Amino acid sequence: MTKLTFIAHDGTQFDVDAENGSTVMENAIRNAVPGIEAECGGACACATCHVYVDQAWTAEVGEPEAMEEDMLDFAYEVQPNSRLSCQIKVRDALDGLVVRVPARQG
Amino acid sequence: MTDTIKTDVLIVGAGPVGLFAVFELGLFDMKCHLIDILDRPGGQCAELYPEKPIYDIPGWPLITAQGLVDKLLEQIRPFKPDFTYNRMVSSLEKLDDGSFRVTTDENEVLEAKVVVIAAGGGSFQPKRPPIPGIEAYEGKSVFYSVRRMEDFRGHDLVIVGGGDSALDWTLNLQPVAKSVTLVHRRPEFRAAPDSVNKMYAMQEMKELDFQVGQVTGLTGVDGQLASAIIKGPDGDVEVPCTRMLPFFGLTMKLGPIAEWGLNLHENLIPVDTEKFQTSVPGIFAIGDINWYPGKLKLILSGFHEVALMAQAAKRIVSPGERIVFQYTTSSTSLQKKLGVHD
């Protein structure tokens, strides 16, 4: 199991055990992390699972692909460390990953 | 005002479940009229994920969302449904004879014996960009669509976004506006490459201005914009702006349905599981918009709901008529309706 930490907009911290191969979004939904809507269900089609990747993790998580970058145009307050959590797959190297949930999704 | 359109069943929402409702209602000889806020059928399938594969439609190991919409349209063609696109249903009233009068946001009036709400996640509406205070300018100098190009003549226009709408209106309004500034958070666009090339060519000729960045502030008085502040890689820039067109995509909202006097459950419409009828007799809700114990938001579940709803709707549309349960495989009368026999 890989440990992930979600920090909700109000500062509440959610530490969850995630299965490798699942997406960060799926783990947010499974653990009822507030502020992750995932309207489209993970199809990279809606930008409502937007998260900010903790600065210490941006290199390891990597850059969004072109399609995700396109969807990020629709997200609220996009920053250089913005990602759509449905496009981040959990793997060993992400053990300890911290992501923050924006004030709102769109 | 146009003449009142009369139909048996008014379906609010032309997504997959609304489309399939035409089929099941059509088998019982009910005429359907669909209204959708989008400019084409398919709902989320067409708007959010047309190219994405769906794996849980019975009999289709894999079908794209648009593929499913196309097949549904083919399937309901024999019933000749009427469609009204680009409209939101704004109000609903129950008439003395038990039927319903529905008015659209463009004041068209429709009357139906039965209303079926198949509105999915709600109506697609333009997303408001995260600019503080923008509400005060909406409808006065900030618009989310272009109804008449003339409204922009002689204005300092700022267009925000990086898709086809943003690029198309940048190119189309450039000759009309006094100045055009296009703002997008990065130099890459989601729009047709041809439009992007044209835009960059016009920028070269100083016919318009393209700024990489995000609009972070607005100035103006009484809803009339004066300027926009753009935060770019080199700091803030203030540009003249008397009209703004943000194109930030669409979001889904329940909208005026919330005002129809139906019981609601967390923005969903509770129904019974026999008829999928709402708290108001004669108004049904099917698909993602409804709620009942055990509800699953699957297209599959919506199709099931449609079949049961159609039986109940028939009793309202044709009271007293005996309803005969038949199979399309063997019933010659159903096959006649489907046009498979002469």
Pinpoint the residues of chain B covered by CATH 3.50.50.60: 5-125+251-337, 128-248
On the question of pLDDT at B132 being above 60, the answer is: yes
Q: Fold for domain B5-125+251-337?
A: FAD/NAD(P)-binding domain (3.50.50)
For B89-130, the pLDDT digits (tens) are 999 999 999 999 999 999 999 999 999 999 998 988 888 888
Give the pLDDT of residue B340: 86
- CB atoms near residue B6 (< 10 Å): 14
* Residue B44 annotated as lining a ligand binding site: yes
Q: Per DSSP, what are the bridge partners of residue B252? A: B124
| Cβ separation B190–A70 shorter than 8 A | yes
Q: Give the residue carrying structure tokens 């809606």.
A: A46
Closest-CA residue to B123 (of B62, B36, B187): B36
According to the model, what pLDDT value does residue B50 have? 87
Q: B260-272: per-residue pLDDT in tens?
A: 999 998 889 999 9
Q: Are B159 and B166 in contact (CB under 8 A)?
A: yes
Phi/psi at B23 (nearest 5 deg)? Answer: -65, -55
Query: Which pLDDT belongs to residue B69?
Result: 98
Q: Is A29 buried (19+), middle (13-18) or exposed (0-12) by CB count in 10 A?
A: middle
Domain A2-100 has CATH 3.30.420.40: no
pLDDT above 80 for B146: yes
pLDDT tens-digit map of B219-245: 999 999 999 999 998 999 999 999 999
* Cα gap B242→A63, rounded to integer Å: 37
Q: Which of A39, A46, A65, A105 to mutate to test the interface with B (most CBs of B within 10 A)?
A: A46
ipTM here: 0.76
pLDDT at residue B1 tops 60: no
In this predicted structure, the answer to whether residue B341 has a pLDDT above a threshold of 70 is no
Which of A59, B44, A40 is CA-nearest to residue A50?
A: A40
B280-332 per-position pLDDT tens digit: 999 999 999 999 999 999 999 999 999 999 999 999 999 999 988 899 998 99
Give pLDDT, residue B2: 60
- pLDDT mean over B187-205: 95
- A46 and B CB contact within 8 Å: yes
The rounded mean pLDDT for chain B is 94
Instruction: Test A45 with B186 for CB contact under 8 angstroms.
Output: no
Q: Where are the domains of chain A?
A: 2-100
pLDDT value, residue B252 = 82
Q: Does domain B128-248 have CATH number 3.50.50.60?
A: yes
Residues in chain A with pLDDT < 50? Answer: none
Put simply, the answer to whether A74 touches B162 (Cβ < 8 Å) is: no
pTM over 0.80, yes/no: no
